[in-house]
């Protein structure tokens, strides 16, 4: 089963952010953008699918976030959904953490 994560931040996740994180986590890899940027697949150097990152969205009602994650951070305005495919949890999670570090955000699991 895939693991669903949410990145809460003040800075949007861009292609550059994902590329930088991928290089730090894997040393190489590639990004494949779908549906005009609606979501992006991140592949490792061995072409393993490590993450799917959905387009960052502005949080309109912060109180709604508490229904989807445990202990949301105090300050955030952006919501980015990230899915780690089954079978690559350690590598996918590490890459998601790199993306979070790149934007100074907090990574949370969906409930």
For residues 21 and 24, give the distance between their C-alpha atoms in angstroms, rounded to a whole number: 5
For residues 61 and 43, give the distance between their C-alpha atoms in angstroms, rounded to a whole number: 33
H/E element, 95: helix 89-103
DSSP code for 85: P
What CATH number belongs to 3-109?
A: 3.30.70
User: Does the pTM of the predicted model rise above 0.85?
Assistant: yes
- Tell me the domain boundaries of the chain: 3-109
Tens of pLDDT along the chain (111 residues) come to: 899 999 999 999 999 999 999 999 999 999 999 999 999 999 999 999 999 999 999 999 888 887 889 888 888 999 999 999 999 999 999 999 999 999 999 999 988
For residues 107 and 111, give the distance between their C-alpha atoms in angstroms, rounded to a whole number: 13
């Amino acid at each position: 089963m895939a693991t669903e994560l949410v990145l809460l931040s003040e800075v949007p996740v861009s292609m550059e952010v994902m590329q930088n994180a991928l290089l730090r986590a894997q040393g190489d890899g590639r990004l494949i953008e779908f549906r005009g940027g609606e979501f992006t697949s991140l592949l490792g150097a061995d072409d393993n699918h490590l993450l799917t990152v959905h387009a960052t969205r502005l949080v309109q009602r912060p109180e709604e976030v508490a229904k989807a994650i445990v202990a949301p951070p105090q300050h955030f305005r952006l919501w980015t959904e990230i899915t780690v495919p089954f079978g690559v949890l350690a590598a996918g999670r590490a890459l998601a953490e790199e993306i979070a570090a790149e934007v100074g955000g907090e990574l949370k699991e969906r409930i």
